Amino acid sequence: MSVRSTLRAFPTLLRVGISEAVAYRAEMFVWVLSTTMPFISMALWTAVARYSPVGRYGSGDFVRYFLAAFVVRQMTGAWAAWQINFEVRQGTLAMRLLRPVSPLWCYAAENLGSFPMRLFLVVPVTLFSVYQVGAGSVPQTAWGWVFFFVSLAGGWLITFLANVAIGTMSLYMESSTKLMDVWVALFFVFSGYLYPVDLFPSALRWLLEWLPFRYQIGLPVELMTNAHGFGEALGLLARQWLWVGLMLLVAVGLWKRGLKRFAAFGG
């Protein structure tokens, strides 16, 4: 199927994804419970900053940051790696390959289909953040909103494409779940999910500027909380989308080469 035909079919795939998310809403709820780590970090860091700021963060700043981290985590989540790994091992990937649409578009639609349900959490948490710690919890300029949504899209694409690349590795080895565990561990430490990236020592922070993890969570959170001026935000967005392009090349390249080996694993 051509790209044009695939794009015409994508809204239908999205509707299917939304229906699946509604049907499996209990699993969605369990997944959301597993992403509440920013609330724990918020309690810890606000206690630390109660008597003196940590870096540029006072207690209110930490509340604003970690509520934003929870919101961004909901809007950039993906689980394609576990899905691909399971379907390769069970051989059910063959059923997807019989369809006229690439399985990668189907995985994307199924992951994006959960977004409407996540909004039921994201909107109240955002409104609470504005009420509790002020209007600085959301972008204060028109370009800030545009940059924030662009960074959200970039963060989701990096997460999804990393999932595809690592899930596809199950076509080359027995299972890729351990690789995903390593990626998730690095994500927790270096993405800004557990603590702001700018609290790292300067030498390590320079390294993080060139790794993909910061652009999954940290950059959208920083843009949501007005941490950067126009020029700096534009430069960071450019790096984020360079990572999107690189991850796209890696994920699609691994997928196309890996499918040639699928017959050895199909059940």
Residue 1 has a pLDDT of: 63
Which runs of consecutive H residues, i.e. helices, occur in the chain? 3-23, 25-33, 37-48, 59-75, 80-90, 93-97, 103-112, 115-133, 142-168, 177-190, 202-208, 218-224, 230-259
With the C-alpha atoms ordered 65, 71, 74, 75, is the resulting torsion angle positive or negative? negative
CB count within 10 Å of CB 248 equals 16
> Residue 244, exposed/middle/buried by CB under 10 A (0-12, 13-18, 19+)?
buried
CB count within 10 Å of CB 126 equals 18
pTM for this predicted structure: 0.91
Task: Going residue by residue through the chain, which has 267 residues, state the pLDDT in tens, using 9 for 90 and above.
Answer: 667 777 788 888 888 888 888 877 777 777 777 788 889 999 999 988 888 888 889 888 999 999 999 999 999 988 899 999 999 888 888 888 888 888 999 999 988 888 888 888 899 999 999 998 888 899 999 999 999 999 999 999 999 999 999 999 988 887 788 899 999 999 999 999 998 988 888 888 888 889 999 999 999 999 999 999 999 999 999 999 999 999 999 999 999 998 887 765 444
Q: Could you tell me which of 20, 42, 207, 201 has the C-alpha nearest to residue 114?
A: 20
